[in-house]
Amino acid sequence: MNKIQRNRLVDSGFKYVGIFCTFFGIVMLLIFIGNILADGLSRIDWDFLTNLPSRRAAKAGILTAWTGTAWILGLTAIISIPLGVAAGIYLQEYGKKNRLAYIIELNIANLAGVPSIIYGLLGLEIFVRVLHFGGSLLAGAFTLALLILPIIIVATREALKAVPNSLREASYGMGATKWQTIWDQILPAASGGILTGIILALSRAVGETAPLIVIGALAYVPFVPTTPMDEFTVLPIQIFNWVSRPQADFLVNGAAAIIILLILTFIMNGVAVYLRNKWQKKISW
């Protein structure tokens, strides 16, 4: 075999290596989801969703966990969406050339790389101790809101950037002020992209475990939280707690809870991808 033939062989061989690698991760995930379904699907019934936690694996349910997750999702959204979108608007529409905007931008790039557990330490000190929220839903939501803020800001900027300048100029030409232009023209035009970013960021918050453990969310909460100041647990922490126990029955519970968590994550991501595609098709300006 001469050199040319060998080169061609390597070239066509790489195609298969490429396909193999591309699907390796996805296939692993499918194997895993199959495993989880086999382990946990039979455990899911009405009682599992509506029972309080229990020392006995067969009686334990995820009522407090999923209500905690729902609370956290809602509160985090309320805190992070206005802040993130406002900061994104400022950076993209107002602060193109000033120093403050440059520092904020640099800072956001840095924050995006800070491990989530460090946000937990921040929340523990600021929200739990200094502001006296304790290990409450509110402390958890503020911590997660800070964590996902960079994602929402970046997504907002990208969406605003995609709005063509002609729209801005037309609005100014009609005598609109800068804010009127942003509020009435730019934001509606960018809303699809912003919404996609928000949903992805919130889905990240739903899956976070470590920062909430650090701020003192409990694994065993025998009541459904009714106010933002209540102590709480969330699905990922409940899963972590069950997985950490040696008894096989609790692993089954863990698998069942993972199915619920994955359904939630995949629905949120699916909606985000759907919105993104729809929005991209619409803007052929």
Partner 1 sequence: MKRSGEVIIEKVLALSGIITILTTLGIIWVLISESAGFFADIPLTDFLFDTEWTPLFAEKHYGILPLLSGTFLTTLIAISTALPMGIIIAVYLSEYADKRFRRTVKPMLEILAAVPTVVYGFFALTVVTPFLQQFIPSLGSFNALSAGLVMGIMIIPVISSLSEDALYAVPKSLREASYGMGATKFQTSFKVVVPAASSGILVSVILGIARAIGETMVVAIAAGQQPNLTLDPRQTVETITAYIVQVSLGDVQHGSLEYKTVFAAGITLFVFTFLLNNVSFWIKKKYQEKYE
Footprint of partner 1 on 39-58 (CB under 8 A): 39
Q: Segment contacting partner 1 (CB under 8 A): 53-61, 165-173, 184-192, 214-222?
A: 214-222
Of 44, 74, 90, 167, which lies in the binding site for partner 1, with binding defined by CB under 8 A? 90
Footprint of partner 1 on 16-35 (CB under 8 A): 17-19, 21-22, 24-26, 28-29, 31-32, 35
Contact 141, 228 (CB under 8 A): yes
Beta carbon nearer to partner 1, 122 or 224: 122
Q: Which two tokens stand for residue 285?
A: 């300006």
Residues in binding contact with partner 1, number by CB under 8 A: 88
CB of 226 to partner 1, least distance (A): 25
Question: How far is 260 from 271, CA to CA, in rounded Å?
Answer: 17
CB of 279 to partner 1, least distance (A): 15
Contact 148, 174 (CB under 8 A): no
Of 2, 113, 227, 281, which lies in the binding site for partner 1, with binding defined by CB under 8 A? 113
Reference 213, options 112, 278, 116; nearest CA is 116
Q: Which two tokens stand for residue 94?
A: 């107002």
Q: How many CB atoms lie within 10 A of CB 161?
A: 12
Footprint of partner 1 on 194-213 (CB under 8 A): 200, 203-204, 206-210, 213
How would you class 123 by CB atoms within 10 Å of its CB: exposed for 0-12, middle for 13-18, buried for 19 or more?
A: buried
CB of 148 to partner 1, least distance (A): 12
Residue 178 engages partner 1 in binding (rule: CB under 8 A): yes
Residue 7 engages partner 1 in binding (rule: CB under 8 A): yes
Of 141, 153, 198, 275, which lies in the binding site for partner 1, with binding defined by CB under 8 A? 153
Beta carbon nearer to partner 1, 173 or 175: 175
Residue 140 engages partner 1 in binding (rule: CB under 8 A): no
Residue 229 engages partner 1 in binding (rule: CB under 8 A): no
Question: How far is 99 from 105, CA to CA, in rounded Å?
Answer: 10
Q: Segment contacting partner 1 (CB under 8 A): 4-12, 43-51, 53-61, 224-232?
A: 4-12
Question: How far is 30 from 266, CA to CA, in rounded Å?
Answer: 13
Residue 171 engages partner 1 in binding (rule: CB under 8 A): no
DSSP labels, 223-248: S---STTSB---HHHHHHHHHTSS-H
Sign of CA dihedral 175, 180, 186, 191: negative
CB of 62 to partner 1, least distance (A): 14
Question: How far is 11 from 23, CA to CA, in rounded Å?
Answer: 19
Residue 119 engages partner 1 in binding (rule: CB under 8 A): yes
Q: Residue 3: what are its φ and ψ, rounded to 5°? A: -65, -40
